[in-house]
Structure formats: structure tokens, C-alpha cells
Amino acid sequence: MRLRRRPSLDTEAIQENWQPKLYARLIALVLLAAYVIAFVLENRRSVPLHFVFATANVSLVWLILLSLAVGFAVGILLSQLERRRRRRARN
């Protein structure tokens, strides 16, 4: 029966395993998560939202995220309409 040797902890092996892009992404992800948590905690109070015929109390963070989602969707739809308009103009 053969026993395997334990790999030595030489500096070359440590340098080969060092992945700076991975650690940079991990740090960026942790910072982004911390920012999102702080954003939610700062904007959790309830605010009145006035519609034309009604008023509702909504958490401010949900109002901001809903506005962001609607703006993003409208931007995508407008870009699709512009692309379709350019295709028709070429034909």
C-alpha cells in the first residue's frame, strides 16, 4: 500500500492559487450586499402614495424599487420600438 505525500506549502503553489479577479469580485459582491441592506434599512418608513382617486401607504423602498422596475421596462420597450423602426426604414 502506498501512502500519498502531503503537498508542501511552498510559495510557488500559493502564488498559483492566488486569483485576484475572484477576490475582487467577492469584495465587490460583499460591498454591494452591504449597500443594499443599508438602502433598505434607510428607506423602510411608510409614505403616502397618491393615485388619482385613492391614496395608499407604501414603504419607501418598495416605491423606489417599483419606480426603478417601471423605468427599466419602459426603457427596454422604447429601445425595441426604435430598433423595429430602424429595421423598417432599411427595408
What cell does 45 get? 418608513
Domain count, the chain: 1
**Pairwise CA distance, residues 58 & 64, whole Å:** 10
The answer to whether residue 76 scores a pLDDT higher than 70 is yes
User: Residue 85 is part of which domain span?
Assistant: 16-90
3-state helix, strand, coil in the chain (%, to 5): 65, 10, 20
pLDDT tens for 23-66 read 999 999 999 999 999 998 999 999 998 889 999 999 999 999 99
Judge contact between 45 and 60, C-beta under 8 A: yes
Does residue 37 form part of some domain? yes
Does residue 3 form part of some domain? no
pLDDT class of 90 with cuts at 50, 70, 90 = confident
Does residue 43 form part of some domain? yes
Does residue 6 form part of some domain? no
Judge contact between 56 and 48, C-beta under 8 A: yes
| pLDDT value of position 10 | 57
Q: What is the pTM of this model?
A: 0.59
Does residue 30 form part of some domain? yes
